[in-house]
Structure 1
């Protein structure tokens, strides 16, 4: 592999590893811990393996009891590195044959292989052109749990896997379901050997190999290299050794193994997550949420109170002075709700009724409907995360909404320009009435005491004092009625402004406590899917 292509491959792997790590971080708290831990192991292996010798290819021999794995290992190595047959019926710990010692020690330390043998050059394996480590590993079906753990660990560490099967148990479900099928993405770094082929009649070798290839194809390893060998007769040994040497000289096994690990980890994360993207937050669903929360938070009650408060204040300021004082005995609806802007600055709560069961049910339904709409299309774990984010904010809604309403500018103390004008005219009308009454009273007193009564000015035959009295009364009544009509229209306008401001305040609270957390989870899913696609290459 050229330096340029190797650098390009390394850069591509770096990008995939970073994307895989990003997906892991984004999935934390959403996906099962087991799936995330598998990713951590891949990332840790990648970091460790890439920091060690890139000149050595680690090839592990895996097989079941009786498959002749150790004998095959010796035959390929060209020496009795592994003690076979009666002297060593089972492999109890990893054993390494090393060609190209320089740089191999730290790698073997990382693999935790203590039994090491500097192998002599053999056809295809020589120190000067091959950095190679062959590992004879315990049987994967060993009755000793420690041996099985070693095999499981080595499956995740070696660069190339050689699976040694025998004619009697080549279709054993234990190896296919437990190892080969789960490693379907690792076909580029997998060799399958049908060992002890000498035990088969020559005519049966080809059909058995064909049967094995069919089974491997069902495992997802249809393109993997399959060889027939015999450690006794030496059949297939040279071909197997040549395949291993070719892999070692290409210096691609390490990156291929890592790429396969990333592919498998990505597929596992995808399986744990599921397929799909969330519909996300739309303006219409945000508006519906704000509308429902406004009703649940008693915004209509506040709006009606704003309207009634304005009409009451208008009556106090523009009503007929003789009767307007009676309005002062009527309680201000806003003051009763602790919503007048002249209330104590220390108070940040309203006196609105505490949310009862209907209001809580309405709030819960609104939040649930919003979360369901936003999470539509998302896979199960992410849909649950989106709904959970909405529920967490739901618990703080009642208090936050009450504070938002308490802090909203309702214009409660804002005066209207027409109040002053009407007030002046009302007092002039009252003074006119009092003037007319006083004049008539003086005239009546003079007549009562038999004193000369001066001539009263007349207009169209009507005495001026009488006209003053009538005009003042009529004007006061007309002004009072007109003021009521104007106050009703102005109260409606002020109520609409208050409703708009309250809805804005409610929408802000809903945005902070419900919408934003949901948007974060929706964006998190989108980023996760993007990272997963990058990790998949």
Structure 2
């Protein structure tokens, strides 16, 4: 592979790693911790491997007891290292044969391989410039737990996996179910060798190899190179060497291995998460939510109180002065709700609206639940649950927030229409007119009572002016009072509609802050997660 191609693959891998990490971060608190921990381990492993020698390719030999793995390792490496392994202090220690020792130390330290041997050139396999590291590992079906754990750990770390099988146990469920099938995404860095062909005649060997290919295809590894070999006779060893060399000289095994790890981790996240996007938030859904919350928060009660309070104040300001004072004994509907006050800061005020009872709480819960269900439709199960949870958390904060929103909404309670002043002035003029007429008639009556001369009063159409003044003042006051009530009722409806708009807007704002925004964030997180996961899966 050319240097430019290697750079491109490395850059593409970096992009996928970043996307996978983004998906992991977005899924925190949504997907199970075990799945996210697996992804984190892949990311940490990839970071560590990429920081180590890019000039070395680590090829691990994996096999079950009796497969002849160590013998094949010796045959391929043209050495007797694995034979000496029987005299090592512990069989759980892997052994490394190295071609090109310089720079391999940190990589082998990371792998945890302590026994290292520099090997001479092997024609058709490697020399000091190749940068090949062959690992002979313990049997993966060892009865020792530490051996099995070691094999599983290194199976997740080496660049290339060589699975050594034998004719007797090539179809064994343990190797396929526990190792090959879980590594199905790593087909590009997997080689399979059927060892001990010397125990089969050519026809049987062909049948066994064909059967093995079929099993591997069912494991999700179609097209994986399957080679026959005999460590005892040397048959097929050259072919195995050539396959390993081809992988090593392309200098892409480490990148492909990590790329396969990313694909497997992303696929695991996808399986845990599920697929799909949420329907999303619509204007209709938010309006329905705000409408239901407004009713549950007693907005209609406040609007009605505003209308009745305005009518009361209008009658008190424009009614007949003789009777308007009686309205002082009627409580102000707004003051009874602790609203419309000007003697305290609105943000410090609280309403005296009736506390939410079971019907109101049920209505609020249903509104929030229906909203979350509607907008999260189509989202995968864990994400839909997270979106619903965000809505529920906001629901707990609603009662106090809605009460505060109502308390701080300007109800225009202190705003006095201009016509009130005009009507009030006319009422007092009418009252003074009637009072003047009464005073005039009173003076005439006193003069007559004391047999004093009573001056002639002016008349209009035969009606004395004092009488006309009293009648005119009373009639004008009553007409103004009736007109004021009619006009006040009309103005009260207009004011109530304006207050209703402001209150509904305040409720909608609270719903947006407490419910809609957290839900929107959850939906956006899912969308970003899907995009990141798609980028991570793109190979």
TM-score normalised by length of structure 1:
0.97
CA contact 1:129–1:249 (8 Å) conserved in 2: no
- 1:489 aligned onto 2:490: yes
Aligned mates of 1:194, 1:355 — CA distance in 2: 75
Query: 1:192: which partner in 2?
Result: 192
1:42 aligned to 2:60?
no
2:505: which partner in 1? 504
The answer to whether structure 1 residue 79 and structure 2 residue 42 are counterparts is: no
Given that 1:71 and 1:84 are in contact with CA atoms closer than 8 Å, whether structure 2 keeps it comes out as no
Deviations 1:183-234 (A, max 9, x none): 1111110001111111122211111111111111111111100011111111
Q: Deviations over 1:312-360 (max 9, x none)?
A: 1111111100010010111111111111231322842111111111111
Q: Residue 522 of structure 2 corresponds to which residue in structure 1?
A: 521
Please give the residue correspondences for 1:325-404 in structure 2 after superposition, counting only pairs within 5 Å.
Answer: 325-345=325-345, 347-404=348-405
In the alignment, the residues of structure 1 paired with residue 337 and residue 276 of structure 2 have an alpha-carbon distance, to the nearest angstrom, of: 48
> Which residue pairs with 2:11 in the alignment?
11
Deviation at 1:266, TM superposition (A): 0.9
Q: Partners of 2:112 and 2:62 in 1: how far apart?
A: 17
CA distance in 2, matches of 1:91, 1:234: 26
Deviation of the 1:84 alpha carbon:
7.4
Asked if structure 1 preserves the Cα contact closer than 8 Å seen for 2:85 and 2:91, the reply is: no
Mark the CA change 1:125 to 1:30 in structure 2 (over 3 Å): closer, same or farther. Answer: same
Check the 8 A contact 2:120/2:128 in 1, yes or no: no
**CA shift for structure 1 position 410:** 0.5
Deviation at 1:91? Answer: 4.7
SS in 1 for 2:343: coil
Match for residue 111 of structure 1?
111
Deviation at 1:387, TM superposition (A): 0.7
- 1:437 and 2:438 are equivalent in the alignment: yes
2:101–2:128: 8 Å Cα contact kept in structure 1? no
- 1:24-423, aligned counterparts within 5 Å? 24-83=24-83, 91-345=91-345, 347-423=348-424
Cα distance in 2 between the residues matched to 1:91 and 1:127: 28
Q: Deviations over 1:41-84 (max 9, x none)?
A: 11111111111111111000111111111111111111111027
CA distance in 2, matches of 1:488, 1:173: 87
**Counterparts of 2:467 and 2:475, CA distance in 1:** 12
In the aligned structure 1, how far is the partner of 2:5 from the partner of 2:241?
26
The change in CA–CA distance for 1:86 and 1:536 in structure 2 (over 3 A counts) is: closer
- The separation in 2 between residues aligned to 1:261 and 1:458, in whole angstroms, is 113
- Where 2:349 maps in the other structure, the secondary structure is coil
Shift of 1:507: 1.1
Unpaired runs of 5+ residues, structure 2, are none
Aligned length: 537
Q: 2: distance between equivalents of 1:325 and 1:228?
A: 112
Tell me if structure 1 keeps the 8 A contact 2:191–2:224: yes
8 A Cα contact 1:447 1:453, kept in partner: yes
Supply the distance in 2 between the matched residues of 1:305 and 1:9 (Cα, whole angstroms): 71
Match of 1:425, SS state, is helix
Higher mean C-alpha displacement, 358-367 vs 344-353: 344-353
Q: Measure the CA separation in 1 of the matches of 2:126 and 2:241.
A: 12
2: distance between equivalents of 1:382 and 1:281? 15
The alpha-carbon deviation at position 181 of structure 1 amounts to 1.4
- Tell me how far apart the structure 1 counterparts of residues 471 and 104 of structure 2 sit (CA, whole Å): 119
Preserved contact between residue 70 and residue 84 of structure 1 (Cα < 8 Å): no
* C-alpha distance in 2 between matches for 1:497 and 1:180: 71
**Other structure's SS at 1:82 match:** helix
TM-score (norm 2): 0.97
CA-based RMSD: 1.6
CA offset at residue 458 of structure 1?
2.1
Deviations 1:468-493 (A, max 9, x none): 22111111111111100111011111
State the alpha-carbon separation in 1 of the partners of residues 165 and 84 from structure 2.
17
Matched, 1:451 2:452: yes
CA contact (8 A) 2:99 2:129 kept: no
* 1:441 CA drift (Å): 2.5
Separation in 2, partners of 1:86, 1:306: 95
CA positional deviation for 1:439: 2.2
Question: Is 2:126–2:245's contact at 8 Å kept on the other side of the alignment?
Answer: no
Give, in angstroms, the shift of residue 438 of structure 1.
2.1
Per the alignment, in what secondary structure is the counterpart of residue 493 of structure 1?
Answer: helix
- 1:446 offset after TM fit, Å? 3.2
How far, CA to CA, are the matches of 1:440 and 1:31 in structure 2?
A: 93
